[in-house]
A and B are shown apart, each in its own frame.
Chain A
Amino acid sequence: MRDVRFLKCMFAASTVLAACVFLVSGILFAQTPEELMVAAGSPGRFGGSLTIALRSEPKTLNPALASDASSQDVIYCMNSDLIHINRQTQKTEPALAKSWSVSRDGLTYTLNLRRGLRFSDGQRFNADDVIFSFRVYLDENVHSPQRDLLIVGGKPISVEKIDDYTVRFRLAQPYAAAERLFDGFPILPRHLLEAAYRNGGFSQAWGISMQSSQFAGLGPYRLKEYVPGQRLVLERNPFYWKEDSAGKRLPYLDEITFLFVPSEDAQVIRFESGETDVLSRFSAEDYSVLARQAAARNYHLNDLGPGLEYNFLFFNLNDLSTKNLAQIGKKQTWFRDLRFRQAVSAAIDRRAIVRLVYEGRAMPLASQVTPGNKLWLDPSIAPPSHSPARARALLKSAGFSWKPDGSLVDPQGNPVEFSILTSSSNVQRTKMATLIQNDLSQLGMNTHVVSLDFGAMVDRLLNSFDYEAAIMGLADGDADPNTEMNVWLSSGETHLWHLNEAHPSTPWEAELDRLMNEQLVTLNYAKRKQLYDRVQQIVAQELPIICLASPDILVGAKNRVGNFHPVILDPYVLWNVDQLYVR
């Protein structure tokens, strides 16, 4: 009897022991602990959902193929990158890489990945996914829109796996702020996409209409449902790698619904009526309309001040010798004369643009760097002044004169007449053109405003060069000069006023080339700032583009949206989507 009891006790004890051993070994060996990142900011409430309007349906959910704003907004919510630009501080912070080190020569970046993370389908994440992702982004056959960013010094960045959680990137030459590059390269799940990549089917992979089970990412949300023409619904990713300061795993929201609402007016009306919870990318006029109802309908609006978009007027300074455009060629003698461009710049009433086009919700610009770009703005550049008298004096010194009826003629006696091209879909720029037309008519210049649809306009600007002057807007992608390389290098693809230059055609364009190339390989911020300040001074001085105004970033949200901290960097309201919650 006792023996039996003893045996029973022994058996029970050994079972408990075995269980303990199994448990401990399970923790120690089978499961790597998750290295979660603690997100700064105040903790929120779990549950609830948000509804957001998108201007168009996303074309794809494949991060390596998306180039439209709608796709990028959704992809942002579903994916994560190695190193992230904090949209609020405009500086980099650890993301999937918990830390990184740079070699002394600035050529090697070693990234240490977080351990124990899982994709939204529960599969593990490690260095192989990183290697695979960058192989895809670098593959010429994939035609990824981000690929150019990975070509440094004419050579693609090379990626190498050190161990399961360490990756090394090598650059051909030093590259300033190279860690900013990693933002915008979401990590793809190798287990889901490698087969398609090997079969050559990558360009179709992750099209928007695929089953939600075929998607997985490291972002805060994952795909739940897509209804063509109506909506796309994301749900909470239970494996997300961030926790709040209270130690609870983010994100807070159960669901995000993106509605496809094709026009700005319709988006504004839906927000006003309470159908959507947050709103961004709307005009100053709509801001005033919405502001009237804000208190009654429990939403609030924020004017975040000028963003990074700069609108400008520029003249066609292209080499037209191979084109059959003699008429425009003749006018280029005016456009090439700095005094002519200065006169036009002095004649433009930028305060009127700010007032009439943006209801005061914008800033006049003297150079391409907007007041919103706090790290790079050169404060020594004088704000643009409006002086028709100075414009007249400049034109006179350049040999222009006025006929008795007040119209301006050039030294050869030809009347000064040219057209200004704008995009008909952009109401603001068309309005600017009408204001500028009126300003220039005070100088006796006869200008025509021609608004074409965006495609036709771009074709004239980039291919046929059949235009005289145009108004355009660009936005510095991430508030760093490097994303502006293609604008200021004389060989750049967005060097709009004079494309395909074999050699810089003016001394100041040669200096711009030198400065931009030098800042690219300078690692010290203060030195880079000096170089880029000089770039701004040259732009303000030589006026290859005549900068006009930078609109404020305007956003709105229902009062019930918590942790709503909009910023001037894209995506303005969704940048901290993992921390948004419903009160």
Chain B
Amino acid sequence: MMHRYKLWTLLILLAGFHALILFAGFFAPYNFSAQDRDFPYAAPSRMHFVDAQGKLHLRPFVYGLKDDPNTFGAYLPDTRGIYPLRFFVTGAPYKIAGLFSSHLHLFGVDDPARIFLMGTDDFGRDQFSRFLYGGQISLAAGLIAAALSLSLGIIIGSLAGFYGGWIDAALMRGGEMFLALPWLYLLFAVRAALPLHVSQWQVFLLLVAVIGLIGWAPPARLIRGVVLSAKERYFVTAARGFGASDFYLLRRHVLPQTYSVVLTQMTLLIPQYILAEVTLTFLGLGVGEPMPSWGSLLASLQQYYVLSSYWWMFLPVMLLVPIFFAYSMTADALQERLKSIPL
């Protein structure tokens, strides 16, 4: 019983999180590329309830910022005016899933004040907005790549397991060869050979294709194992005895038995591939400026001065941890639950 609740809570959490990313335009107060050149490396905005005169406000508000005359790049609150937090404000235009355009944002403050929930980066861009938009690239890459590599894994694994013999040997040895290739260096080489004018879309597709195509071997091996044992079951042999075709057997009797393996593999592979995208972008192989991705949000942490001066640049990392955690817990819970279902 407990497992049931655990799984559902996790699934709802993950779904909510994905919705947040999908509707980034609505939840983010600013566009990901909007530069506020007066405020590079601004710390996260502080919410106030009590103003400089000591008056209590029920609606939280922020102050505008002004330069700290003593330190470059440090800002002081400008207490002359208060800017209350407003909901459902109109702001920068955006598109949801590339289809519906809108101006409506969940929250914001009046100009000229700004609300930076997670501070700003070196160009004065809102980190919170960039985190949400960046999730679109990273999550999409993870999901599509996982789907791609699993479908390949299912096809190759079931063929190898079902037919055995030289097909099995060829496919599995091929898979091992794939595992042994130094992919990172190959990627660098591919990137250097590409023409200069590679659109963000092409880079994204290339990234997804590469991550997805590389990863098929481990799931294929697992699925091959399941298929190998499934095809020996009596009802499968019986169906064969009744004259069922290979395709019918695979579709009706063998593949359904791989269902639990595929699901748990899916939940394991998605965070792994998100991380792969983050790593590749961190190394400069992903989508370029000004498009954010979680990897490019982390890239600035390579520099000592960012590490030592701007703690809010770590916030994206902090947020990634629970997401990956949720994914692996889901995989766990799923496995527990699927084990209890009789095949």
Q: Are B33 and A438 in contact (CB under 8 A)?
A: yes
Q: What residue of chain A has the Cβ atom nearest to residue B199's Cβ? A: A448
Contact of B72 among A265, A288, A327 (CB under 8 A): A288
Q: Are B196 and A288 in contact (CB under 8 A)?
A: no
Q: Are A421 and B196 in contact (CB under 8 A)?
A: yes
Contacts of B73 in A (CB 8 A): 288, 359
Q: Are A450 and B309 in contact (CB under 8 A)?
A: no
Q: Are B305 and A466 in contact (CB under 8 A)?
A: no
Cα A360 to Cα B38 in complex, Å, equals 12
Main secondary structure of the interface of A (DSSP, over half): helix
A160 at interface by CB-CB < 8 Å: no
Which residues of chain A from 273 to 291 have a CB within 8 Å of any chain B CB? 283, 285-286, 288-289
A385 at interface by CB-CB < 8 Å: no
Q: Are B289 and A434 in contact (CB under 8 A)?
A: yes
Q: Are B196 and A419 in contact (CB under 8 A)?
A: yes
- Chain A, residues 433-463, CB within 8 Å of chain B (1/0): the string is 1110110000000001111100010000000
Contact of B288 among A360, A448, A466 (CB under 8 A): A448
Cα A468 to Cα B305 in complex, Å, equals 33
- Chain B, residues 281-293, CB within 8 Å of chain A (1/0): the string is 0001000111000
Q: Are B122 and A431 in contact (CB under 8 A)?
A: yes
- Chain A, residues 404-440, CB within 8 Å of chain B (1/0): the string is 0000000000000001010010010001011101100
Interface on B for A, CB 8 Å cutoff? 33, 35, 37, 40, 71-73, 122-124, 192, 196-197, 199, 284, 288-290, 303-306, 308-309
Contacts of A352 in B (CB 8 A): 37
Cα A507 to Cα B193 in complex, Å, equals 38
Q: What residue of chain A has the Cβ atom nearest to residue B310's Cβ? A: A285
Knowing A288-B309, A456-B192 touch, does A269 contact B288 (C-beta < 8 A)? no
Contacts of B290 in A (CB 8 A): 434, 437-438
Contact of A289 among B33, B35, B304 (CB under 8 A): B304
Q: Can you pick out 23 interface pairs between chain A and chain B where the beta carbons lie within 8 Å of each other? A: A268-B305, A269-B304, A285-B309, A286-B304, A288-B72, A288-B73, A288-B309, A349-B37, A355-B40, A356-B123, A356-B124, A359-B73, A419-B197, A421-B196, A424-B284, A431-B123, A434-B123, A434-B289, A434-B290, A435-B37, A449-B289, A451-B284, A468-B196
Contact of A448 among B35, B71, B72, B197 (CB under 8 A): B197
In the complex, the 4 A-B pairs of residues with the closest C-beta atoms, listed nearest first: A265-B304, A285-B305, A352-B37, A289-B305
Q: Are A435 and B303 in contact (CB under 8 A)?
A: no
Q: Are A360 and B196 in contact (CB under 8 A)?
A: no
Q: Are A356 and B305 in contact (CB under 8 A)?
A: no
Q: What residue of chain A has the Cβ atom nearest to residue B74's Cβ? A: A288
Contacts of A360 in B (CB 8 A): 72
Find the residue from B33, B73, B192 having the highest chain A CB count within 10 A.
B73
Which residues of chain A from 302 to 323 have a CB within 8 Å of any chain B CB? none
Q: Are B309 and A289 in contact (CB under 8 A)?
A: yes
A467 at interface by CB-CB < 8 Å: yes
Contacts of B40 in A (CB 8 A): 355-356
Contacts of B284 in A (CB 8 A): 424, 451
- Chain A, residues 355-396, CB within 8 Å of chain B (1/0): the string is 110011000000000000000000000000000000000000
Cα A269 to Cα B37 in complex, Å, equals 29
